[in-house]
Amino acid sequence: MRGLDQATALCKRVAGWIHAALLAKERWNRQAMQKARAEQRSLLLLLAQLNDEQRCEFKAHGYFYVTGGGSRDRYRIRLDSAVNIDLLGADGKVRYHLCARPAGEIPMYDVMAGQLLFLQDRASEAHFLAQAKKHVTLSFPAMLR
């Protein structure tokens, strides 16, 4: 009888684990779907902020160029999770990289749209640059193009 009780208890525990695993998988799937939907919505917002030339650049290469609203400097904003802005010199080579982004858990395309809006506007470019950290030593392949 004691053996039967132990077996029943074990079965209940295993069933509990399976139930918990199924719930976790469901939750993970839901979160993945929400994230994918958010990425899609943010991509639409980014594409709406780009001009025709920038849209073509972005679709072809995953980056686009922006002219600073106040400085007239040339920036390249890349699809990357960090340090994704390059400041280009007159020769087209990267002078240094910048890292600054809108705060919060916003999708990557929203980050790029925010960076674009700040840099292309005369009034907000200086504020953005004051917040940004400069990085000089990184050399990812995309940055060297």
The residues binding other proteins (CB under 8 A) are 34, 37-42, 44-45, 48-49, 82-83, 99-107, 109-110, 113-114, 117-118, 120-124, 127-128, 131-133
Minimum distance of other proteins from residue 33's CB (angstroms): 12
Q: Which of 70, 88 has the CB closer to other proteins?
A: 70
Minimum distance of other proteins from residue 6's CB (angstroms): 47
Q: Which tokens belong to 134?
A: 């400069």
DSSP character at residue 132:
P
Crossing angle for the helix pair 2-49 and 52-61, to the nearest 10 degrees = 140
Minimum distance of other proteins from residue 37's CB (angstroms): 7
Minimum distance of other proteins from residue 103's CB (angstroms): 5
Q: Which of 81, 90 has the CB closer to other proteins?
A: 81
Which amino acid appears at position 65 of this protein? Y
Q: Which of 92, 104 has the CB closer to other proteins?
A: 104
Minimum distance of other proteins from residue 10's CB (angstroms): 42
Q: Is 51 helix (H, G, I), strand (E, B) or coil?
A: coil
CA distances from 30 to 23, 36, 37, 39, 109 (A): 10, 10, 11, 14, 21
Q: Which of 6, 139 has the CB closer to other proteins?
A: 139
Question: What's the CA gap between 51 and 64, in Å, rounded?
Answer: 10
Q: Which tokens belong to 28?
A: 């993970």
Question: What's the CA gap between 95 and 73, in Å, rounded?
Answer: 11
Q: Which of 2, 81 has the CB closer to other proteins?
A: 81
